[in-house]
Structure 1
């Protein structure tokens, strides 16, 4: 666990070193592209990735970097700056502070983190080697629905006694997450910043030149947006997991782990000029 100063903010960061993995010919293989994880909104944080995805990736030879987004988890919570541009600036400032600006990284984003990963690839294609997007919200209707949902949640949490009641019941983790949600929704510009965000266009998708893996649950409302991304992005694979909805990270961690390991290896081969098969 570490606290890193980047873009004038303190970020909570977990960094897992890449294990030494022998190549198929018995020689020592070089490290794979570093993998950076971006979590979802409000009650999410880096811990959702740690055991199911980050640890296996590190054991497979990829350095894994996890951090709590601005205002989330143990990272600093300023009153403003929750738009996608600020999040992208946070990301690349953090990578520079960690000394990871010498080679492109592989971004893994869950839910809203997938949206931020896509914005990062569009803003700095030279710094992004590949993308893995888990249930990424990409379309305009999602933004409207999310803003409505967050606004209702903000009203329910305002002056609420729920965190105190949870603490009294010794449900400390739930109390902390509820308190963070209240602070984000009622004392920052997060909702307004998300409402003001722009969507993606087919022209945006066509500009993404790195390997992309998109994973959605069969019953997720985000499948149409993911399908549009796959249609217009040159090197994109869309994988639909049967029987699942939005929360594929929790419900299909084993399937995701195998898919991500394979995609991370392909991203690393692409970075060395090798052919992806």
Structure 2
């Protein structure tokens, strides 16, 4: 593990080189995949125990990091707009000396960060995978703003934590208590919905996008619109799964992400230098 200065904070990052956890080291330059976790109850650990080692074993350089305010990354009192999260990622790649276009895979809010990065740094982006995520458009800002405001009101009450413990177990209750502390001690709830957005027509997203959803999640309804609006978009809906599809079906998500990255890395490898792949 390592900590790298990224602007006003220090970011915790873990890297797994291609073949570092088994598997053959690939010939030529491998793709680099950056895994971005979700908001409040998440950290890079969710990728470490699902996608990270598998991607490395399949011959991909893999980067996992804790978002600002999460895990072992610094938690400033302010500075939680989407553009802050995107700039953190750009500075992290700079700090790692990573100049290859990256394949971004983001879970939940991590998918929104990945889409924002692709919109504002298209030259540094190879592909985007959103796992139960949404692009940063106005409707998303309204929904997440309402959800964060509700969480901030409720998670300060011990009765709410007890309710979560009874229905979802002690581990989820601990994560929820920690989420309440983040919301109580930072401006995250106000900042996230007030951040920079992209146009509703998604014209800013010019890199290939793969959107994965659980069939029982309300987010799956956006799949047809994504395919209609984006030039190169693929969607997959896993029946019987909800928002936690990454944790519930890690092998299936792993296979889908591997196929997507391999396909596009091979395509980029065949693209002449200077052309957009």
Partners of 2:203 and 2:107 in 1: CA distance:
21
Taking the TM superposition and a 5 Å limit, the aligned residue runs for 1:4-23 are: 4-19=4-19
Cα-to-partner distance string for 1:45-84 (whole Å, 9 max, x where unaligned): 1111112211010011111100000001111000111111
Aligned-residue offset at 1:197: 3.3
Q: Distance in 2 between matches of 1:189 and 1:210?
A: 31
User: Quick one: distance in 2 between partners of 1:40 and 1:84?
Assistant: 13
Identify the residue that residue 190 of structure 2 maps to in structure 1.
Answer: 192
| Conserved 8 A contact 1:217-1:245 | yes
In structure 2, distance between residues paired with 1:201 and 1:229 = 13
Equivalent pair of 1:38/1:114 in contact (CA under 8 Å): yes
Pick closer, same or farther for the CA change 1:199–1:92 going to 2, 3 Å: closer
Q: Shift of the alpha carbon at 1:156?
A: 3.0
Name the counterpart of 1:250: 247
Structure 1 partner of 2:256: 259
Aligned residue for 1:272? 269
**Of the candidates 120, 126, 131, which is equivalent to residue 128 of structure 2?**
131
Cα 1:159–1:240 shift into 2, 3 Å: closer
Query: Retained in 1: the 8 A contact 2:24–2:59?
Result: no
Gaps of 5+ in 2: 162-168, 273-277
Q: 1:32 to 1:210 in 2, by over 3 A?
A: farther
CA contact (8 A) 2:36 2:110 kept: yes
1:218 counterpart (203, 215, 218)? 215
TM-score (norm 1): 0.85
Give the distance between the partners of 2:204 and 2:159, measured in 1 at CA.
48
Deviation of 1:232 after TM superposition, in Å, equals: 1.4
2:50 equivalent to 1:52? yes
Q: Distance in 1 between matches of 2:73 and 2:174?
A: 13
1:99-118 matches, within 5 Å, as 99-100=97-98, 102-118=99-115
Distance in 2, matches of 1:176 and 1:220, equals: 24
Q: CA deviation at 1:210?
A: 2.6
RMSD after superposition: 2.7
Paired with 1:85 and 1:236, the residues of 2 have a C-alpha distance of 24
- Size of the aligned set, in residue pairs, is 264
Q: So what's the TM-score if we normalise by structure 2?
A: 0.85
Contact 1:226 / 1:238 at 8 angstroms: preserved in 2?
yes
> 1:162, 1:74 → 2: CA distance?
26
